[in-house]
Amino acid sequence: MINIKNLVHRYTIWESDTKKSKKTVLDDVTLDISPGQMVAVLGPNGSGKSTLAKHLNVLLLPDEGTVWIDGKDTKDVSALWNIRSNVGMVFQNPDNQIVGTSVEEDVAFGPENKNLPSEVIQERVADSLRAVGLLHKRKSSPFRLSGGQKQRVAIAGALAGAPKCIVLDEPTAMLDPAARKEVINVINRLNKEAGITIILITHHTDEVVGADKIILMNQGHIIREGTPEELFDDISILKAVKMDVPQVTELAWRLKSRGVPIRTPVLTEDQFAAEMMRIYNGDTIREDC
């Protein structure tokens, strides 16, 4: 689905009114993402993850290297429409994405720009809102919705374009914990049930435990790549780049450091509860754990 090789991106920085220089934001990034995967790109602010996201929808072009989306080079101007049709984007602030006076008008904006028949548009709008649990709000003003609901409308808008992949750039950054959970549940469901390739850009480590693969970035480089179990098996690398660790994972590691025979990494509260029950019941721990 996505193949990135030796990607380099530089921004122009004005040091004064007359002097400018280049800053390398992505440095030799190579990455492969298969169809149907849920991939989380994790990293602190300034790590380059949002710049990477913009390359996936051709909002930016490589200074060096190549980005292939569904077999098409992003530098090929003739492929631009096809790439953007197959890769939907959801950004950080849902208010910046609202263009309609009602929820259904907002979601219909993308399909209408493709000049699709009205009956197809109506069907896509209904299906997309149903997928994010907001069909009952279709006549409502999007400005009267909560932050989490607005972000779900934005996801529905991307979904209405029938993309193969949706890139979400910090979609929960402006939401409270309850709304964050609401949005992440929708994202997980779209991936698991609809088979849509999901790329989630975030700095919240607790949002990535359900991903198939995690890409950890720092200062424009990919410094670690693997499953959630592989990444959280050594939390020192997260702490080294000033990333928070999920509370339940941190608690499990602290207990282990004090001699409690808990098997790590622990990624969810259910896993933690199961480990506590195993220890309480006196089950022995394997040497290779």
Domain extent listing, the chain: 2-233, 246-289
Provide the token pair at 203.
């700095």
- CA–CA separation, 201 vs 168, rounded Å? 6
Class of domain 2-233 (CATH, top level): alpha beta
- Burial code (b: 16+ CB inside 10 Å, e: under 16) for 25-51 equals bbbebebebeebbbbbbbbbeebbbbb
Tell me if 155 sits within 8 A of 187, measured CB to CB: yes
What global pTM score does this model have? 0.87
Average pLDDT, the chain: 90
Q: How far is CA 4 from CA 30, 110, 127, 134, 199, in A?
A: 5, 27, 32, 35, 14
Instruction: Give the SS3 label for residue 223.
Output: strand
**What pLDDT digit, counting tens, does each position of 144-202 carry?**
999 889 999 999 999 998 899 999 999 988 888 888 888 899 999 999 988 999 999 99
Instruction: Give the SS3 label for residue 12.
Output: strand
Beta bridge mates, 40: 200, 214
**What pLDDT digit, counting tens, does each position of 47-62 carry?**
999 999 999 999 999 9
Label residue 286 by pLDDT band (50, 70, 90).
Answer: very low
Provide the residue type at 280 as one letter.
Y
